[in-house]
Amino acid sequence: MEERETGMVRLLDDLRKMSKLREYLKRMQTFKHNPEGNPVPVKIWLSGNSNSGKSTLRENLAKLLGFDDFYVGDVFRNRARIKGVPIHEFYAEIEKEEEMAIDREWINLMLEHPRIIIEGRMAPWIDEVSKRLGLPLKDWKGTLKISLFLSVDPIEGAKRALGREENSRKTREEMIAENIGRAREEQEHYRSLYGIPHHLDTKARRGNERVFDFVIDTTNQSPEAVLNMAHKCIAHRVQYFILGRL
């Protein structure tokens, strides 16, 4: 574990030194839609399959870019802890109004922070969620928004989940079935709550744009490799933004 952490620190240092991403982010302060020279807002939305490494990537990207970061799931877990119930029971029993209140919370937080990484199932679907909540739709002109989807093979996802103490007594087959069942329940839940047909559809479109800008398969990748790939995706998007092609 210590060796892995040391390797990650080294990778972060290397990326900071060799990459032009931070230089690009600074150049955005003179972007044509930003005559005052203020930092251009950057919103990175992160979603994906269970056990695909989303939280690890969020934390590492925040360190690399110096951005604020927020995990929507922490709000649910904190409320479950206050009520003294397991998280899966809390999800099953949560009232519609309470869940929508949580979604309003992260949307407001996202709007308050100029540069932030939000991890959550509904994060890339912010326009659809805002509309259903009756919130004014955000005008994204002048804002760089990037949505990343992390995918993972069901077998590898189950293997990672079995490494957690709460799953230690389950078999691989049970874990795979549980993950698939949870994804199906979520799909029906978000279809009913927000009118989203399939929240994990990597080919989903919003008008002429894809909901997910980049899909990264983490199945056979280390956290360091995933960070490097995400870093390249973001750098590519930033360059296009600067060129006025977004």
* pLDDT recorded at residue 52: 97
Among 2-11, 102-111, 173-182, 197-206, whose mean pLDDT is lowest? 2-11
Confidence of residue 45 (pLDDT cuts 50, 70, 90): very high
Edge to edge, the sheet with strand 214-217 lists: 68-71, 115-119, 42-48, 144-151, 214-217
For 148, phi and psi rounded to 5 degrees? -115, 135
* pLDDT recorded at residue 135: 92
pLDDT digit string (tens) for 88-135?
778 777 888 889 999 999 999 999 998 999 999 999 999 999 999 999
Q: Name the helix (H) or strand (E) containing 121.
A: none
The DSSP secondary-structure symbol of 34 reads: -
Confidence of residue 32 (pLDDT cuts 50, 70, 90): very low
Across the chain, mean pLDDT equals 86
Nearest to 80 by CA among 70, 94, 67: 94
- The number of angstroms, rounded, from the C-alpha of 205 to the middle of its chain's C-alpha atoms is 17
Question: Do 74 and 102 form a contact (C-beta atoms < 8 A)?
Answer: no
Confidence of residue 246 (pLDDT cuts 50, 70, 90): very low
Identity of residue 227: L
pLDDT exceeds 80 at position 146: yes
Among 27-41, 148-162, 205-219, whose mean pLDDT is lowest? 27-41
Mean pLDDT of 31-54: 80
Question: Do 122 and 187 form a contact (C-beta atoms < 8 A)?
Answer: no
Q: How far apart are CA 108 and CA 146, in angstroms?
A: 18
* pLDDT recorded at residue 18: 47
Percentage of the chain lying above the pLDDT 70 cut: 83
Question: Do 200 and 49 form a contact (C-beta atoms < 8 A)?
Answer: yes
Q: How far apart are CA 239 and CA 241, in angstroms?
A: 5
Mean pLDDT of 159-184: 93
pLDDT digit string (tens) for 68-82?
999 998 888 888 888
